[in-house]
Amino acid sequence: MNDRRERRASQMISVLIVDDHPLFREGLQIALGAEDDIQVVGQCADGEEALTAAARLQPDVVLLDINLPSKNGIQVTRLLKSEANHIAVILLTAYHDSEQVLHAMRAGASAYCPKDITQDDLLEAIRSAASGYYVIGKQRMDHDQLSGWINTHMESINTPYMIDPDEHYIPLSPREMEILEFVTNGLSNKEIAGRLKISQQTVKNHMTSILKKLNVQDRTQAAVHALRHGWVRIHGEGQKSTSAKG
């Protein structure tokens, strides 16, 4: 990490902004563009675009909204870090949930920041992340300190999908995430089966798995859980889910 710090000290920090709200993206671009050592190299509106753009642009830092269409921020973080571990990911969220912070950092994020963060604090987080540090709130940590933080917080959170400490946080498979998004938007098993071109029994099997993994009793509780954590969103009337395939 020392080499990374020395390299960053004399280089411009390239940043990719990922958020589905154009005004928020533009606001970030303007704020970051005023800095002499930061260059915004691109903007994206959803998770799939973010993965493609990051592979092409190879930014130093990705500013990533946690609540995105197609793939949520934690899923994108996990995939991005598996393909380009040198890219630092800063997750931005309107939700403050201690459990979600833990999941984000275990997925490979370098920082977890609220969307109402001050400009100065965000700039500090970007520079810290680009130098190989980790930021949670006002805390700045190196890798060993982050590992200690994760281990301490894991002991206080008991969820059925975090039994194996070596597993990255992703309680649901991509197919289960698709189904959960449809459920959250009010579709029946029959409608979901039609959208995904699978049988209703397969949808029921996936729902059983979803309820078990999330440790909830029914579809409503699963939907509330997903919305609270920013994994999925409610679409406008008549709008297809952004996760729909085919």
pLDDT at 90 (0 to 100): 97
Please give the Cα distance from 192 to 129 (Å, whole number): 40
CA–centroid distance for 4 within its chain: 24
pLDDT at 122 (0 to 100): 95
pLDDT at 68 (0 to 100): 83
- Two tokens at 235? 């679409």
Q: Which domains does the chain have, with CATH numbers?
A: 2-154 (3.40.50.2300), 174-228 (1.10.10.10)
CA–centroid distance for 144 within its chain: 22
Using 50 as the pLDDT threshold, list the residues of the chain that sit under it: 3, 6-9, 158-170, 237-246
Please give the Cα distance from 74 to 224 (Å, whole number): 18
Beta strand pairing status for 134-136 and 139-141? antiparallel
**Nearest CA among 53, 113, 44 for reference residue 87:** 53
Residue bearing tokens 């092409």: 56
Would you tell me how many other CB atoms lie within 10 Å of the CB of residue 33?
11
pLDDT at 129 (0 to 100): 96
Q: Using only C-alpha atoms, what is the Rg of the chain? A: 19
135 contacts 110 by C-beta, under 8 angstroms: yes
